[in-house]
Amino acid sequence: MLEALPRATFSLLAGSLTLKRLASRYGMRRTSSFARRFIAGEDIADAIEAAHAIEREGLLVTLDLLGESVVTSEDAARATRSYIEVIGEVERSGIDRNLSVKLSQLGLDVDRATGIDNLRRLLDAATPGNFFVRVDMESSKYTAHTLDAVETLWGIGYRNVGVVIQSYLRRSKDDVERMNRLGIRVRLVKGAYRESRDVAFHQKTAVDAAFVELMERLLLGGTYPAIATHDPIILDATKKFAAVQGIGQDKFEFQMLYGIRRDLQAAFASEGYRFRVYVPFGREWFPYFMRRLGERPANVGFVFRSLLRDKS
């Protein structure tokens, strides 16, 4: 059964060009019951509509125009222009001015200079409207390049940029300390990419233990960290640690993915915590969707049957 596939398999499926072409051909109409649970839609209007609904519940949002692994400078420039257009639409909509972006989407795979230059263009467009831009973390081959790019722009005066650290990577303790020293805002996540054992912890207990340790370091020494997890045990541990240390609710925030644990999102917001929902959208939704299914594989068989059933 597809539902029993191991998580690593979903990482491979996320890179399947054949499945991606099928998903692009049919859009989200064949998977609306499931893909639309995790993805707001294929265009900015869908994302803004979803964001308004989230904000009416007392929650915050960050928008992510899905896309990654751009390999030409032309495509990287096109993706950058698309994000700049998103900035304009968000300004007109009145929703929270917070964006998430991947460096590979901006051309890091073309070369380092292309990725950094396009990120700088994006930050220049975002600065006048007081946008905050979070650079998402991708697989471990991008980790050092991503952190270096953010630090480079931080060093020349950009303060509206942050980054993501993954607790399952063995290097992350040093990376958290580095970001804390600089004052760069960090979103802490567990990590969703397939990695080797020499690079990442594979046991859930080890990943969770690392997450808690890094959470504590960020709350004590970081700059407005974002604790991004759906794990109720870790969420509770974060609340307790902050209370014991006398860390106010305005000094950090929780984050969750769109469509997951809405009950917890509402409960935490009602308790006065700042809670941000990561709202992905765009036509390049398939790789993201596969990674989410790898974390929550229920009903995977139905999704694939929906994609493949009608080719007419």
Q: Catalytic positions, please? A: 136, 187
How many other CB atoms are found less than 10 A from the CB of residue 117? 17
> How many whole angstroms separate alpha carbon 113 and alpha carbon 133?
19
Sort 284 into a burial class: Cβ within 10 Å, 0-12 / 13-18 / 19+. Answer: buried
Cα-to-chain-centroid distance, residue 99: 10
> How many whole angstroms separate alpha carbon 215 and alpha carbon 223?
12
Task: Record the tokens describing residue 244, joined without a space.
Answer: 């014991």
- What is the DSSP secondary structure assignment for residue 193, as one 8-state letter? S
> How many whole angstroms separate alpha carbon 251 and alpha carbon 220?
10
Residues 58 and 269: beta-carbon distance below 8 Å = yes
Q: Tell me the one-letter amino acid at 270.
A: S
